[in-house]
A and B are shown apart, each in its own frame.
Chain A
Amino acid sequence: MIPASVALLALGVLLAEPVSRALAAARWPNRDPTGALLLWQAVGLAGGLALLGAGLTFGLAPLGDSLPAAVAALADHAGRREWPPGLGPWQLLALAATLVLAARLLGVLGLATARTLRARRRHRDLLDVLTTPWPAMAGARVLAHPMPVAYCLPGLRSRLVVSEGALAALSAGELAAVLAHERAHLRERHDLVVLPFVAWGATAPWVPGMARAQLAVAALVEMRADDVARASAGELALAGALRRVAGAIGASERATLTSFSAAVGGRLHRLDQCPDRPSRTVRAATRLAALALVAVPTLALLLN
């Protein structure tokens, strides 16, 4: 099992650094955000499985030829209340490190989820009292403020919020584009896609791969929503909405070029370029690659 352990460790490190760097710097995700998002999920999942699996297979190597056999042997020894032979300090160290990593990953995710849900509920409670339902669209609410904003609160009890300023500043078509964009976020549960990367990015900010992954996933989610909005409302309407809302906020600040306006610029540029979707074959290959990426460490752990 030792060779498997080394291979899994190598896979984990590869995914954490070079692969995530390459994926974050790649251009093709612009044209297939959904495929890229699936690939990112796969990289995260496979990386975690690989690192945890490496520690597990190394620690339990003396007990059997494959992981299932070793686990069975461990249970057997435990049942007979005897110390498993061959389990020395290095093995224990590996097992302890694995346990600590697993606990940290799950713990951080759990905490982030709880914090997010709590913050959302607090915002939603105030929203329900301080906004009025918007008759033009079911489930949408109007916030009485002159600054043009639009946002949504994801979750089972989702809310879509438009400000009076937005209603005044945007044309009907532009408003439709904004709503289509927000509804895409809600319908496709982009919050679930983003949350693990945000949670784990916060755990190990010194691992550059994690920060890159977080930024890439956030940007891809916006691209996906833009694609949905462009399909239903048209790119002129969407670009117009982006410019107007960004312009209104930008005009009211004294700062000139900020990363905020740079991000908007990036999205406008992408709309303008109108990149073609990759062929169906390429898209299928991307999704297959994501599946294979997760299958590799899983099978390695089960079959060895």
Chain B
Amino acid sequence: MASLGELERAVMDVLWAAPEPCTARDVQDALSTRELATTTVLTVLGRLERKGLVSRARDGRAHRYHASGTREDHIAALMRDALEGAPDRGAVLVRFLGAMPPEDQAALRDLLR
């Protein structure tokens, strides 16, 4: 049984590869080799939505899901989160190279765009 994290990654891969928004059924079919229950897919989609990675729109009676940004966008956001942050933001995370002062953060932001 795959871990939740692994399932979330698999579902995101499906959504990122899909040309248009998918229903939960579409996602389930794309991951047919895993033999996932519909409830499992819905749970994962719900979690991803709460995390801000997936958006949902109503299409008649069905819901269609799509990724809220590309993988690169989200990774860049993670990097910004990891590298920015004034020292007084607290011990949220600890970088190998310590905090980055504000002047450098602006330069870094441009770089990561």
Q: Which residues of A contact B (CB under 8 A)?
A: 112, 115-116, 119-120, 123, 125-130, 132, 143-145, 147, 149-154, 161, 163, 178, 181-182, 185, 190-192, 194-195, 198-199, 201-202, 214-215, 218, 221-222, 241-242, 245-246, 249, 252-255, 258-260, 263-264
Contacts and interface: CB of A to CB of B under 8 A. Distances in A.
A246 B95 CA distance: 12
Given A116-B91, A198-B91, 6 more contacts: A123-B92, A127-B78, A143-B79, A153-B92, A181-B96, A190-B91
A144 B75 contact: yes
Contacts of A264: 97-98
Contact of A145 (B5, B51, B76): B76
A191 B94 contact: yes
Contact of B48 (A112, A129, A214): A129
Interface string B82-113: 11000111111111111111011001100110
Contacts, number: 130
A195 B90 contact: yes
Residue among B12, B83, B96 with max Cβ neighbours from chain A (10 Å): B96
Interface magnitude class on chain B: 35 or more
A128 B4 CA distance: 9
B108 A161 contact: no
Contacts of B89: 119
A151 B89 CA distance: 15
Given A190-B91, A191-B91, A198-B91, A126 B78 contact: yes
A177 to B, nearest CB: 9
A108 to B, nearest CB: 11
Chain B contact residues: helix, strand, loop or mixed: helix
19 contacts: A120-B93, A123-B81, A123-B82, A128-B8, A130-B75, A145-B75, A149-B83, A149-B96, A151-B95, A154-B94, A161-B82, A178-B96, A185-B94, A215-B87, A218-B87, A245-B97, A259-B101, A260-B97, A264-B98
B88 A202 contact: yes
Contacts of B93: 120, 123, 151-154
A73 B111 CA distance: 66
B74 interface: yes
A188 to B, nearest CB: 11
Contacts of B8: 128-129
Contacts of A255: 103-104, 107
B53 interface: yes
Contact of B94 (A119, A132, A151, A215): A151
Contacts of A143: 75, 78-79
